[in-house]
Homo-oligomer: A and B are copies of this chain.
Amino acid sequence: VGEVWRLGDLARWVGGRVQGDPGRPIARVATLERAGPDDLAFLTNVKYRAQAERTRAGAILAAPGIEVPGHDLLLVDEPYLALAEILDRMHPPTRPAAGISPDARVATTASVGLEASVDAFAVIGDGATVGDRAVVGAGAYVGAGCTVGPETTLHPRVVLYPGTEVGARCIVHSGAVLGADGFGFATSGGAHRKVPQLGRVVVEDDVEIGANTTVDRGMLGETRIGRGSKLDDLVMIAHGVVVGPGALLAAQTGIAGSTRAGRNLTMAGQSGVIGHLTLGDGVIVAAKTAVFQDLEAGAFVAGIPAVDHRSWKRSQSLVRRLADMRAELHDLARRIADLEGKTEGTT
């Protein structure tokens, strides 16, 4: 009973080219594995080439140059980007009904924008500002003096400590905590005295922050997540870090205090960067890596400690051959002893 489109419509949406029947009806998008004759599947990762051969999908979205016999194709230069466009058109995002739940507690000095939605058990503190068409989910906490930009969504149970600023069109997932105290202690005689954390967190526009991720406030200044950055779940950004714009931080990554990253930092899962470093633009950090030194723009690093990823690969492959090297070393030692014996004899 859903809407049905023609393959040619989809091609028009994304500036693509149909190879096959542009009139083919498309009911939905599905994975290669699950798609049926009315579905558009997509081949955006070469790992799934074999699945494409046997898919029952009516049509396949792919990059030019791909051939999948027996299937209509929708060819476009950036198929993953096209997929986003097609899905957005087929499933326009919905917003919850505007209005403030009678079960929310909004301070009289707070301001909630036009068509904003504040769900049950949310708390909005003194002097906080929630922008137009913003969504504050159930049980979310917006501390005193916070700013939530227009069209931003705070999912249920997000916590913004007082003074946190979140830009426009951001998405903050459940359980994320922005603005908790940075981890700053002065240790003297074995005791750790708390250093007051008086700064704040600033999240620029178009940022997405994953579930249960934590971004701590600066000690005095800001912790800043630059425009268009995307943080996955369970990421940790410590006090005073500046990251972005355009950072892409996968799950369970962490950046320690005061480190500053340039544009488009990419960190794969479970990697980390220690504090007080400077990373140039476009740095890529492989999964599980630990960065202990400043990095030039464009660096692609791996390992603990992080080194150029090709060096790391070479080292790791050599580590795997250490037993051979050791055997060869023993063999050479034996042969040298032999030679020494003979040479001894000859002189």
Chain A residues in the interface with B (C-beta under 8 A): 29-31, 33-34, 45, 47, 78, 80-81, 83-84, 87-88, 91, 93, 103, 105, 119-121, 123, 137-139, 141, 143, 155-157, 159, 161, 171, 173-175, 177, 180-181, 183, 185-188, 190-196, 198, 208, 210-212, 214, 216, 220-221, 228, 230, 232-234, 236, 238, 246, 248, 250-252, 254, 256, 263-264, 268-270, 272, 274, 276, 287-288, 290, 292, 303-305, 307, 311, 314-316, 318-320, 322-323, 325-326, 328-329, 332-333, 335-336, 339-340, 342-343, 345-347
> Which B residues are CB-close (under 8 A) to A316?
305
Pair B211/A177 contact, Cβ less than 8 Å: yes
Contact of A121 among B139, B322, B345 (CB under 8 A): B139
> Which B residues are CB-close (under 8 A) to A180?
155, 173-174, 210-211, 233
Pair B138/A141 contact, Cβ less than 8 Å: yes
Pair B187/A248 contact, Cβ less than 8 Å: yes
> Which B residues are CB-close (under 8 A) to A175?
159, 175, 177, 212, 214
A272 to B234, CA, bound (A): 13
User: What's the nearest-Cβ distance from chain B to residue A48, in Å?
Assistant: 8
> Which B residues are CB-close (under 8 A) to A210?
180, 183, 214
> Which B residues are CB-close (under 8 A) to A171?
181, 194
Pair A159/B174 contact, Cβ less than 8 Å: yes
User: Chain B residue with minimal CB distance to A45?
Assistant: B276
**Copies of this chain, tallied across the complex:** 3
Pair B307/A304 contact, Cβ less than 8 Å: no
Pair B190/A246 contact, Cβ less than 8 Å: yes
Contact of A333 among B195, B221, B328 (CB under 8 A): B328
A346 to B304, CA, bound (A): 50
> Which B residues are CB-close (under 8 A) to A238?
232, 251
> Which B residues are CB-close (under 8 A) to A88?
196
> Which B residues are CB-close (under 8 A) to A173?
177, 180-181
> Which B residues are CB-close (under 8 A) to A187?
248
Pair B328/A318 contact, Cβ less than 8 Å: no
User: Chain B residue with minimal CB distance to A233?
Assistant: B214
A31 to B276, CA, bound (A): 13
A256 to B188, CA, bound (A): 28
> Which B residues are CB-close (under 8 A) to A78?
186, 188
Pair B274/A254 contact, Cβ less than 8 Å: no
Contact of A120 among B105, B157, B216, B234 (CB under 8 A): B105
Pair B84/A186 contact, Cβ less than 8 Å: yes
List the 10 closest pairs (A to B, CB-CB), nearest first.
Answer: A81-B186, A318-B322, A177-B211, A180-B211, A288-B290, A214-B233, A159-B174, A80-B186, A87-B196, A183-B232
A220 to B188, CA, bound (A): 36
A347 to B177, CA, bound (A): 79
Pair A254/B256 contact, Cβ less than 8 Å: no
Pair B311/A320 contact, Cβ less than 8 Å: yes
> Which B residues are CB-close (under 8 A) to A328?
329, 333
A221 to B216, CA, bound (A): 33
> Which B residues are CB-close (under 8 A) to A211?
159, 177, 180, 214, 216
User: What's the nearest-Cβ distance from chain B to residue A118, in Å?
Assistant: 13
User: What's the nearest-Cβ distance from chain B to residue A307, in Å?
Assistant: 7
User: Chain B residue with minimal CB distance to A288?
Assistant: B290
User: What's the nearest-Cβ distance from chain B to residue A292, in Å?
Assistant: 7
